[in-house]
Chain A
Amino acid sequence: MSAALEAKLGRAWKKPPFISSPVFRWVLIIGSLVYLVLATIGTAGISEFLRWTGIVGPQFSFGATDKLFSGIEVKWDRIARGWERGWQFIKAFAEPDFTSRWKDIYKGIYESIVMTIASTVVGIAISIPVALGAARNIAPLPIYLICRAIVAVSRALNEIIVAIILVAILGFGPLAGFITLSFATIGFLAKLLAEDIENMNKVQAEAIKSTGASWTQWINFGVQPQVMPRLIGLSMYRLDINFRESAVLGLVGAGGIGGTLNTAFDRYEFDTVAAILIIIIVTVMFLEYLSGVIRARIQ
């Protein structure tokens, strides 16, 4: 046995590292450490630490960089004062108040549900043609690029930001929320559906084509049956997301339960807040259960 092999055999086994390239691994580790220090305590914290250790003089400071890399400010006295409010909030969950603002809660929830249903239906209806266009195996290149651009724009813009712009244009009310949610649904559904169409079984689609089917027949009998289960599953999932999102659109005036929630927070009525949050959580749980049942039945 050679000495090199002997030396290798004598060494204890070690778990292989997650990132195999050592240079990349160490760059990543050191880089993240530097970032973490800058992000948490900041340069001001570093200079304070250095002053405390006595390595540098008491006048030492990084100067202007302190403003940028200020780290995270923790105001302990503010937290101490706010802590009581936090405790009240937790206590409010034990006795939520559904009754005293029930009219507002009912109106908000009702509006949220209406917005969710309408926007999901419209979003699905628009996203199907967009998804067909965004699937490379179906659409020609120009249409593909246009549809992919629609998907990219819809996904890049945050719902809240779209809602702010739409409220500025259309005024307060559920219409702005409805358009926002429909627009967000397009990006989500069209992207995932297009990926599913791209992964479909070509043989089935070919078989339909070989019978002399027209383009619409080809889509309807060759492609549609293959992606339908996924489309229904994604639609249910999106219904769930849209309801959750509709709960916050009200914060910027786009209708739904968010407005009621914001008012309750502003008045520090934590028992009403707790009631609203419980309603949201229960509805989301119900929707998740429903979508689970439907998806299990289809697949």
Chain B
Amino acid sequence: MPISERNGLKVWQLRTPKSQLIRWGAWLIGLAVFIFSWKEISDNTLWFMMDNVGEVVADITGRATPPAWSYITELGKPIWDTLAIATLGTIFALIMAVPVAFLAARNTTPSRLFVRPIALLVIVSTRSVNSLIWALLLVSIVGPGVLAGLIAISIRSIGFCAKLLYEAIEEINVVQVEAIKATGASPMQVMVYGIVPQIMPAFAGIAVFRWDINIRESTVLGLVGAGGIGLALQSSLNVLAWPKVSLILLVILVAVVIGEWVSAKVRGAII
């Protein structure tokens, strides 16, 4: 028990002087790094532009209100496309994520030494690259449009879904699998009757969760030309049509909130 002496009295302390010093040093380094980072940002900022930020905000809000309500009739198609990108993207991602997850899970992979690292690499590399970057790449390959967005969303989602799914597979109850095996089931039957029912709730949860995230992401894919409502946003921003911009932002907000509500309801029903 760390004790310090103060005026001849022994006083209880939470930490020893050494650990206290280490903590103090760590905080100091952390603070120094933060201040340095802040200074870098500050150096790269034109602070004189900030003098009239209030005016700029007032100006933009003045231009953006009221939203151009009549424009909403033209947003039906973009929002339908956005929904299609999110939904079909999630479906394709799940189709590809399921085999990857089974190859990556320790208890179902055919080879821990060769197949598992490859599956993990697929998961990490698809997950670390943002869907906008995938979209940027795919627009240059398949051309601008919904298809590029759809593929971008599906590639980005593979890693996410496969990671959560393989963690769920690793956590399954082995007793049930053994029981199915004991009946003389083939490996395929073990899969269908022993493993799949155990991960089905997790699978459905992951699917809906990712669908919700994909709605958010697909709303901005249009900024790089990959279809959906982001395309409308980009064209309105380019001509500084602020009333249209504010309407589009409102529509996106409503779509995101509805998506989150549906996803929360479905996940609540499963769990």
- B23: interface (CB < 8 Å): no
CB pair A73 B145 closer than 8 Å: yes
Expressed in whole angstroms, the Cα–Cα distance for A85 and B129 within the complex equals 19
Q: Which one, B80, B142, B257, contacts A156 given CB within 8 A?
A: B257
Q: Which of A112-120, A200-208, A226-234 contacts B (4 or more CB under 8 A)?
A: A112-120
CB pair A175 B45 closer than 8 Å: yes
CB pair B223 A252 closer than 8 Å: yes
Residues of chain A from 189 to 222 with CB closer than 8 A to chain B in the complex: none
- A244: interface (CB < 8 Å): yes
Q: Which one, B37, B197, B224, B249, contacts A117 given CB within 8 A?
A: B37
Expressed in whole angstroms, the Cα–Cα distance for A18 and B87 within the complex equals 20
Count contacts on A: residues with CB < 8 A to the other chain.
61
For residue A171, which residues in chain B have a CB less than 8 angstroms away from its CB? 46, 49
Residues of chain A from 243 to 299 with CB closer than 8 A to chain B in the complex: 244-245, 247-248, 251-252, 255, 261-262, 265, 268, 273, 277, 280-281, 284-285, 288
For residue B143, which residues in chain A have a CB less than 8 angstroms away from its CB? 75, 78-79, 82
- B202: interface (CB < 8 Å): no
CB pair A169 B53 closer than 8 Å: yes
CB pair A170 B53 closer than 8 Å: yes
CB pair B125 A265 closer than 8 Å: no
Q: Which one, A39, A117, A178, A285, contacts B128 given CB within 8 A?
A: A285
- A91: interface (CB < 8 Å): no
- A86: interface (CB < 8 Å): yes
- B252: interface (CB < 8 Å): yes
Expressed in whole angstroms, the Cα–Cα distance for A112 and B186 within the complex equals 52
For residue B260, which residues in chain A have a CB less than 8 angstroms away from its CB? 156
Q: Which one, A111, A247, A277, A288, contacts B44 given CB within 8 A?
A: A111
CB<8 Å pairs between A and B, sample of 10: A39-B84, A72-B150, A75-B143, A79-B143, A86-B141, A111-B40, A115-B41, A277-B129, A277-B133, A281-B125
Q: A164-B223, A285-B124 are in contact. List 8 more A-B contacts (CB 8 A).
A: A36-B88, A158-B256, A169-B53, A170-B50, A265-B137, A277-B129, A280-B128, A285-B128
